[in-house]
Amino acid sequence: MRRVYADYNATTPLNPAVLEAMLPYLGQKFGNASSIHIFGRDARAAIDDARVRIAKLLGAQEGEIIFTGSGTEADNNAIFGIRPGHIITSSIEHHAVLHACQQRPDVTYLPVSGDCLVDPADLRKAIRKDTVLVSIMWANNETGTIQPISELAAVCREHGIPFHTDAVQAFGKLPVTVADVDLLTLSAHKFYGPKGVGVLYVRRGMKLTPLLYGGSHESDRRAGTENVAGIVGLAKAAELPAVDFVELTEKLAAGIVEAIPGAHRNGHPRQRVSNTVNFSFDGCRFEGLLLGLDLEGVAVSSGSACAVGSLEPSHVLLAMGVSRERARAAVRFSFGAGTTLADVDYILSVLPRVIHRLRTLS
């Protein structure tokens, strides 16, 4: 059976050049970057080099880059590392931000429009004298919708409030720099790098308390022996050229609309990362859709992979005003480096059958 992986927003395969760059650090260059001898110095040099390259790509300075153990950790550090006070975020954030915010005592969750956009005017209204952080994601992982980051950041700047963005789903798909933001999160496994390594950019002069205490790694900002191979892989992956998938995703979307009645597209149709489309299918449930497509060899997701196992409808779609029923019938298709036109044709050849079967059963 043909196998089509259309879940690149959940994770991406390691790019072969990235693996090659990492291999020495999983083998003979195994040193601890804190050691003074040559093994340690080799590891330290590799981390320093990776930091310079990431900083350059983001338009940052080396000292502003902290390597973390994941995107989740970077998000948590931004949210828990800021001083006590009021936080503003959006209702469509990834759980790495949302669940962290739920642990803070005073948080405002901004609404989004029907097409998944945060309105800068809503942000302006929510700002208070004691607001200490605003955290709004760059691109949404479920719908792909791109937020007006520059405008949102400008509102924060006007009020002197630090602005964090979770750029996990934007980096590698869009030009991402730190020009407008004070804090920014990346995760390597979303752009063909290894799992278990991320970045938190922290603008110079910002005071942020560490999440982890121990050794003096990462200039006392993130304790723990560095994942040298992971960091090397992250830097290599970050330099891969972005690929545009708009033609493939638009072909999929047009094919779905043409062949399947009762299909509803979720998220902004144009202001989106080019690899992501999200549809709800009347009369279906996502568990049936995912299973039915899996049986046909097509791997998709209902939204955030981190919410898998939960039969709750997507909080993102609910925040957009999508009904519970429609939110429970949503599938996210996310394309990546291996996706071909033949894959899109294959999805379009099996999807109507899967949906017909589900509708007849219900």
By CB under 6 A, name the binding residues for ligand PLP: 70-72, 75, 94, 96, 137, 141, 166, 168-169, 187, 198, 304-306
Cβ closest to ligand PLP, residue 86 vs residue 94: 94
Count CB atoms within 10 A of the CB of residue 243. Answer: 14
Q: For strands 276-281 and 263-266, give the pairing.
A: antiparallel
Using CA atoms, how far apart are residues 32 and 40, in angstroms rounded to an integer? 5
> Contact, 272 vs 250, CB < 8 A?
no
Please give the Cα distance from 333 to 329 (Å, whole number).
13
Q: How far is the CB of 189 from ligand PLP (least distance, A)?
A: 6
Residue 306 appears among annotated catalytic residues:
yes
Specify the residue, 136 or 168, whose C-beta has the smaller distance to ligand PLP.
Answer: 168
CB of 256 to ligand PLP, least distance (A): 23
Cα–Cα dist 59/328, whole Å: 40
Rg (C-alpha) for the chain, rounded Å, is 21
Measured from each CB, the residue nearest to ligand PLP is 71
- Choose, from 101, 156, 284, 306, the residue flagged as catalytic: 306
DSSP annotation string for 306-356:
GGTT--SPPHHHHHTT--HHHHTTEEEEE--TT--HHHHHHHHHHHHHHHH
Measured from the CB atom, the residue of 97 and 347 that comes closer to ligand PLP is: 97
CB of 107 to ligand PLP, least distance (A): 17
HSE-up of 262 (CA within 13 Å, CB side)? Answer: 11
Map tokens 């040193």 to a residue.
Answer: 31
What minimum distance in Å lies between the beta carbon of 313 and ligand PLP?
18
Chain position carrying tokens 């093994």: 39
For residues 292 and 303, which CB has a smaller minimum distance to ligand PLP in the complex? Answer: 303
Q: How far is the CB of 78 from ligand PLP (least distance, A)?
A: 11
Closer residue to ligand PLP (CB): 64 or 166: 166
Q: Which two tokens stand for residue 123?
A: 């942000």
- Active-site residues, by number, are 306
